[in-house]
Every structure is written in C-alpha cells, then in structure tokens.
C-alpha cells in the first residue's frame, strides 16, 4: 500500500472525526473569550498531504516516514477580532494544551510586511480520541494557528494570488502590491486594537 492509500484510509476512518472532536474541544475551552470570530479544525486533505510528503531537499526526500513525521495532519485555526484577543487566546491555549513548538511568524526584516501569525504544534488531547479509533491512525500532534481577522484575510488572499496555476513567479510589481496590502492589514490591526483599548479603559 502506498502513502496515498494509507493516508486516505486514515483520513476517512479517523482524522475527520478527530478534527470535529477537536473543534468542539477548543470551543469549550475558549468559550469565555467573547471576541473570537471563529474556531475551526480540519484534517489535511489527501492531495495536500501527498504533495507535502513528496517534498525534498535537493535529491534527498524531506520525509522518510511521512505518516508519522508530518505534524499537521490535523490543523486548527482560531480567528480573533483584535490583537489583544490573540494574547488572551494564547494564554488559554497554553493553560489547557501541551505545546512542543511555538512560533511567532513575522517578516524577516522590520522594514518588510507579509505573513503574520502565531503557530503551535500541540499534543493531541486524549479527550478527542474515541475508543473505536484505530490507534495507528491517530497522530500525536496537531497544528494550531491563531490570527486576527485582518491577518487571516490577508494570508488567504496572498496564498490564492501568490501561487499561479502555471507556476509563474510573481513580478516585482505584484510583490510590491502584495506587500502594500500586508502593510495596510498590519496598520488596520493596530488601529482597531488601539481603539478597542481606548474604548475599554
């Protein structure tokens, strides 16, 4: 059986059920935070998993055991209204879940604008695993992203626009325009957060 067939079996038998359970689990633990726009969890699609499993560094495959090495077979996302709420969500997540990796994704240079978000790799809580699930189907970890509405909207549009179907690279002008929209999203996040803080004080 090849990687596609093995993952498809795992996806259909178990991963989609775990994703639904995890979404409800997150909602339960975050219900006290009022400015959360949405919480979602999903199993990585078969096509995306296979594509990721085939990545390489030159002639060397990135994964020699993708079914056990790829950590985002289950991915969750929490979208908040304001930057202030991201910090509140982070505190709750670190209170209830066990992180093995935590990263703040920001542009490399202070003069650049681009993708921003909080990413975790967390141990999958046993509460979301049902008794009849095949043990070997259940991943150890899940990925969680926390973003504001503006960070989420920009990253979704950037992903859609930044990867042309024919694989042609972005032109310099297109890159500048995407950076400009990132700067606008960055500024809007800060303006809304400042207004929220002023109105709440």
The pair of structure tokens assigned to 32 is 């006290």
pTM of the prediction?
Answer: 0.88
Residue 118, domain CATH: 3.30.460.10
| Lowest mean pLDDT across 21-25, 56-60, 83-87, 143-147 | 56-60
Model pLDDT for residues 182-200, shown as the tens digit of each residue: 899 999 999 999 999 999 9
Strand ranges, E, within 32-163: 36-43, 56-57, 60-61, 74-80, 99-105, 117-123, 141-148
Task: Determine the pLDDT at residue 117.
Answer: 86
Is the pLDDT higher at 54 or at 166? 54
Model pLDDT for residues 21-50, shown as the tens digit of each residue: 999 999 999 999 999 999 999 999 999 999
Q: What is the DSSP string of the chain?
A: --HHHHHHHHIIIIIHHHHHHHHHHHHHHTTT-TTEEEEEEEEPPHHHHHHHHT-EETTEES-SSHHHH-S-SEEEEEEESSHHHHHHHHHHHHHHS-EEEEEEE--SSTT-----EEEEEEEPPGGG--TTS-GGGS-SEEEEEEEEHHHHHHHHHHHHHHS-TT-PPPPHHHHHHHHHHHHHHHHHHHHHHHHHHHHH-
Region 116-134: what's the mean pLDDT?
Answer: 94
Domain count, the chain: 1
Model pLDDT for residues 6-27, shown as the tens digit of each residue: 999 999 999 999 999 999 999 9
- Domain holding 132, by residue range, is 3-200
pLDDT confidence bin for 56, thresholds 50/70/90: confident
Task: Determine the pLDDT at residue 159.
Answer: 79
Task: Determine the pLDDT at residue 109.
Answer: 67
The HSE-up count of residue 166 (CA atoms within 13 Å, CB side) is 3
Model pLDDT for residues 134-147, shown as the tens digit of each residue: 999 999 999 999 99
């Amino acid at each position: 059986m090849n990687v596609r067939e093995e993952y498809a079996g795992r996806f259909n038998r178990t991963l989609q059920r775990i994703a639904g359970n995890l979404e409800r689990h997150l909602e339960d633990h975050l219900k006290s935070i009022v400015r959360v726009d949405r919480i979602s969890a999903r199993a990585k699609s078969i096509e995306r998993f296979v594509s990721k499993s085939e990545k390489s560094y030159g002639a060397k495959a990135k994964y020699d055991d993708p079914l056990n090495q790829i950590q985002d077979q289950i991915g969750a996302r929490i979208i908040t209204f304001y930057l202030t709420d991201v910090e509140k969500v982070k505190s709750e997540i670190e209170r209830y879940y066990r992180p093995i990796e935590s990263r703040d994704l920001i542009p490399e240079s202070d003069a650049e604008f681009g993708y921003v978000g909080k990413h975790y790799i967390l141990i999958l809580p046993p509460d979301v695993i049902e008794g009849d699930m095949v043990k070997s189907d259940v991943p150890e970890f899940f990925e969680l992203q926390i973003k504001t509405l503006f960070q989420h909207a920009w990253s979704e549009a950037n992903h859609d626009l930044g990867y042309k179907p024919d694989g042609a690279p972005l032109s310099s002008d297109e890159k500048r325009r995407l950076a400009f929209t990132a700067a606008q999203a960055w500024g809007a996040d800060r303006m809304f957060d400042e207004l929220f803080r002023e109105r709440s004080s």
